[in-house]
Chain A
Amino acid sequence: SQKIEQNSEALNIQEGKTATLTCNYTNYSPAYLQWYRQDPGRGPVFLLLIRENEKEKRKERLKVTFDTTLKQSLFHITASQPADSATYLCALLNGGSQGNLIFGKGTKLSVKP
């Protein structure tokens, strides 16, 4: 059956370090993958999209990689700040061009000053 797993429920790091979050999937061949940020009491907010033919995507301090052979995406936050503390969700396209997203359960990141 199809499955999306984010490596851990929680990740604690020190301010200034690089946070690395993992998203693994099985029995999918997604055309793309998206990452969202969710703060407590709020809905998820889109951060980045990476397509199957892209190895890496960057946006300011964020970097996402996509390895379709390993069926894995890595999400990096460099020079992390306490304001980066949130839950980060990966999501895969399910279906064709009018399809929907399947979300992982998320990783809660805490950046300590």
Chain B
Amino acid sequence: DAGVIQSPRHEVTEMGQEVTLRCKPISGHNSLFWYRQTMMRGLELLIYFNNNVPIDDSGMPEDRFSAKMPNASFSTLKIQPSEPRDSAVYFCASRSVAGGSYNEQFFGPGTRLTVL
């Protein structure tokens, strides 16, 4: 299994541009999580999905952020328009729901976003 796949690994963009981050969860996992990590705030949950349905998006900082999961094997996180304070590492993680939330989360390698 290739694990959780994220693309791109690095993204440098200018303020005001649209940014789309992509995630492919582990096959058979039906929970998917988007996190943002910064030195100041640590690892913060942005949104998570169970069976492709958004369950909790209270961590999404503002309307500029949106996430979709059109099917069990793909999710996107979009920032439009981007701002310098959005610069961070964005992680996607997936989890098998069989057995409940006791199961571990598997993290992707992250996307390092820099907004100039």
Q: Which residues of A contact B (CB under 8 A)?
A: 32, 34, 41-46, 49, 51, 89, 93, 95-106
A98-B97, A100-B56, A103-B43 known; A46-B50 Cβ under 8 A: no
Chain B contacts with A in 32-63, Cβ cutoff 8 A: 33, 35, 41-45, 48, 50, 55-56
The interface bits of chain B over 51-92 (1 if a CB of A lies within 8 angstroms of the residue's CB, else 0) are 000011000000000000000000000000000000000010
Instruction: Let me know if B42 and A104 touch, CB within 8 A.
Output: yes
A95 to B56, CA, bound (A): 10
Instruction: Let me know if A106 and B107 touch, CB within 8 A.
Output: no
Is B93 on the interface with A (CB-CB < 8 A)?
A: yes
Instruction: Let me know if B50 and A103 touch, CB within 8 A.
Output: no
A43-B107, A49-B102, A98-B55 known; A105-B42 Cβ under 8 A: yes
Q: With a CB–CB cut-off of 8 A, which chain B residues contact A46?
A: 104-106
Instruction: Let me know if B104 and A43 touch, CB within 8 A.
Output: no
Shortest CB-to-CB span from B30 to chain A, Å, is 10
Neighbour of A32 across the interface among B4, B56, B102, B107, CB < 8 A: B102
Interface centre among B43, B50, B105, B107 (most CB of A within 10 A): B43
A49 to B43, CA, bound (A): 18
A49-B104, A89-B43 known; A100-B33 Cβ under 8 A: yes
Is B108 on the interface with A (CB-CB < 8 A)?
A: yes
Q: With a CB–CB cut-off of 8 A, which chain A residues contact B31?
A: 98
**How many A-B pairs with Cβ below 8 Å?**
59
Shortest CB-to-CB span from A47 to chain B, Å, is 9
A32-B102, A99-B101, A100-B33 known; A45-B45 Cβ under 8 A: no
A104 to B50, CA, bound (A): 23
Is B110 on the interface with A (CB-CB < 8 A)?
A: yes
Q: With a CB–CB cut-off of 8 A, which chain A residues contact B93?
A: 43
Instruction: Let me know if A98 and B107 touch, CB within 8 A.
Output: no
Instruction: Let me know if A43 and B55 touch, CB within 8 A.
Output: no
Q: Taking CB as reference atom, which chain A residue is nearest B56?
A: A100
| Interchain residue pairs with CB less than 8 A apart (6) | A43-B93, A95-B101, A98-B31, A100-B48, A100-B55, A101-B45
Instruction: Let me know if A103 and B42 touch, CB within 8 A.
Output: yes
